[in-house]
Amino acid sequence: MSNKIADNLTQVRAEIRQAAAAAQRDAADINLVAVSKTKPADAIEQAYAAGQRAFGENYVQEGVAKVQQLQTVCSDIVWHFIGPIQSNKSRDVAEHFDWVQSIDRDKIAKRLNQQRPSHLPPLQVLIQVNIDDESSKSGVQPEQLIGLAQFIVEHCDRLCLRGIMAIPSKHADEHSYSAMRTLFSALATQYDQVDTLSMGMSQDLQQAIAGGATMVRIGSAIFGAR
Ligand SMILES: *Cc1c(COP(=O)(O)O)cnc(C)c1O
């Protein structure tokens, strides 16, 4: 019997290679985060068996439960928190995840910094940018990005700022992606450790890779509809 999740992963990897080739980019520069929100730990284990190591979760309680459930069987998973963060949940995020892609304010950065356990490496973080100015989405406005980046770099030594993340609108054209690329380049010029531009989901993978994404977050194309 074929394994659907393994087949889907093979397909998504092929799409990444094709999109990279079309954009004259090296596919090795594009990291795949498998978004496992709402899916059981068993689905994550199947993707893990097919070689996937980075997984993204949106909801704190659900994510923490899976981190704990899988910590011995799949101990080298790299866990990304990609959902909105309420202050009263920040400690769970700081203690269980490796990356946080959804930082959008000083207060959350400060809390994660204080709460990151000293026996763990610094939390790798991305600032979320609300690139299409949608009220339904979190993230900083583009003009607030440099201020928050500066706050993290200067005041949060338990956080390592790696770049920026966005969820472009369903109707976004290439301008949203190129605006993100411009913000990313400016930040990378200013800070050496900045190397990650996270954009692209199941529906806009190609557009995001054409637009310069170095990390894509794919859920339904791997795990099926939610
Ligand atoms: C759910 C989600 C994804 C994955 O979306 P798919 O359309 O299922 O690929 C990526 N990023 C974020 C922030 C999400 O919430």
- Is the Cβ atom of 16 under 6 angstroms away from ligand 1? no
- 159-168 pLDDT, tens digit per residue, is 999 999 999 9
Q: Average pLDDT of the chain?
A: 97
Share of the chain above pLDDT 90, in %: 99
Residue at token pair 């310069």: 212
Nearest to 171 by CA among 209, 218, 133: 133
Asked if 210 contacts 177 with a C-beta cutoff of 8 angstroms, the reply is yes
- Is the Cβ atom of 137 under 6 angstroms away from ligand 1? no
Nearest to 177 by CA among 203, 202, 195, 204: 204
- 170-226 pLDDT, tens digit per residue, is 999 999 999 999 999 999 999 999 999 999 999 999 999 999 999 999 999 999 999
Asked if 32 contacts 218 with a C-beta cutoff of 8 angstroms, the reply is yes
Region 125-153 average pLDDT: 97
Which atom of ligand 1 is closest in space to residue 217's alpha carbon? 10
pLDDT at position 3, please?
86
Nearest to 36 by CA among 103, 91, 99, 82: 82
Task: Give me the residues paired with residue 99 across strands.
Answer: 80, 124
Polymer length in residues for the chain: 226
Minimum CA distance residue for ligand 1 atom 6: 219
- Is the Cβ atom of 112 under 6 angstroms away from ligand 1? no
SS3 sequence, 52-96? CCEEEECCHHHHHHHHHHHCCCCCCCEEEECCCCCHHHHHHHHHH
Region 55-61 average pLDDT: 98
Look at residue 132 and tell me whether its pLDDT is greater than 70: yes
Region 122-137 average pLDDT: 97
- Is the Cβ atom of 37 under 6 angstroms away from ligand 1? yes
- Is the Cβ atom of 18 under 6 angstroms away from ligand 1? no
Minimum CA distance residue for ligand 1 atom 7: 202
CATH 3.30.870.10 fits 4-218, yes or no: no
- C-alpha to C-alpha distance for 21 and 167, rounded to whole angstroms: 23
What distance in angstroms lies between residue 198's CA and the mean position of ligand 1's atoms? 11
Q: What is the pTM of this model?
A: 0.98
- Is the Cβ atom of 202 under 6 angstroms away from ligand 1? yes
What distance in angstroms lies between residue 140's CA and the mean position of ligand 1's atoms? 19
Region 5-9 average pLDDT: 97
CA atoms within 13 A on the CB side of 193: 11
Which atom of ligand 1 is closest in space to residue 35's alpha carbon? 4
- 72-113 pLDDT, tens digit per residue, is 999 999 999 999 999 999 999 999 999 999 999 999 999 999
Q: What angle do CA 33, 212, 17 make, to 5 degrees?
A: 60
Which atom of ligand 1 is closest in space to residue 226's alpha carbon? 8
Region 144-158 average pLDDT: 98
- C-alpha to C-alpha distance for 23 and 124, rounded to whole angstroms: 27
Q: Is 115 exposed, middle or buried (0-12, 13-18, 19+ CB in 10 A)?
A: middle
Q: For a pocket test of ligand 1, which of 11, 33, 58, 209 has the largest count of ligand atoms closer than 8 A to its C-beta?
A: 58
Look at residue 1 and tell me whether its pLDDT is greater than 50: no
pLDDT at position 2, please?
59
Asked if 195 contacts 163 with a C-beta cutoff of 8 angstroms, the reply is yes
